A and B are shown apart, each in its own frame.
Chain A
């Protein structure tokens, strides 16, 4: 059983397009996160939701919009894609936000913008 899953695994698209990445966790966790990992492997948090409530919103272009329909799902929608958005996007979850030190990551979505 996959604990944290993401779809799609790979996403190749052109500049200006809009795309979404979906994430689901079956661990019963309350908190979910989106991270961006760039080509130098630097891992940076973008957003965090705790029980469907946004609790972390880093300095991210407003072209990025997270949505949490329920605490098991956290989706990421990106408008007007730019070349600089090319990266691996990881979804993660933790039991609750106070246990953010132990996060379970999904397999990642490699986004390539051409």
Chain B
């Protein structure tokens, strides 16, 4: 089976930096994706890491360590609009290349 763990909630202030961690236990791991979902909205793709290291996309960065089965999403210069749920998802080497999502982390940004 697979399991992913991420914190249920994180609170930070506007302008700050926040890190959302994701640890996983799975076989046949291909890579780790991150998605953002605002209340009432659809999940939207943020980033993907197949190799160890840091991927940067604007204010958001994502990191993966395959040896530690661990990744994180780093959000810099937090804005109120970043308040949302963030999901890590593992891409598995099963037929069909499915994504298995974590339970999500609610990020609350305060002014």
A76-114 vs B, CB cutoff 8 Å, 1 = contact: the mask equals: 000000000000001010000110111111111000000
Number of residue pairs A-B, CB distance < 8 angstroms: 59
- Give Cα distance in the complex from A15 to B45, angstroms: 34
Interface range, B side: 20 to 34
Q: Which of A41, A55, A107, A108 touches B104 (beta carbons < 8 Å)?
A: A41
The reply on B58 being an interface residue by CB < 8 A is no
Give the residue name and chain of the A residue nearest to B37 (CB). A41
The main secondary structure of chain B at its interface with chain A is strand
Interface range, A side: 20 to 34
- Give Cα distance in the complex from A45 to B42, angstroms: 14
Query: Smallest Cβ distance from A55 to chain B, in angstroms?
Result: 4
**Are A45 and B97 interface neighbours, CB within 8 A?**
no
Given contacts A100-B91, A101-B30, is CB(A90)–CB(B99) below 8 Å? no
Give the residue name and chain of the B residue nearest to A54 (CB). B96
Q: Which residues from chain A sit less than 8 Å from chain B, CB to CB?
A: 40-45, 48, 50, 55-56, 90, 92, 97-98, 100-108
20 residue pairs A–B, Cβ–Cβ below 8 Å:
A40-B103, A41-B103, A41-B104, A43-B43, A43-B104, A45-B100, A48-B96, A55-B96, A56-B96, A92-B43, A98-B97, A100-B99, A101-B30, A101-B33, A101-B89, A101-B91, A102-B48, A105-B43, A107-B42, A108-B41
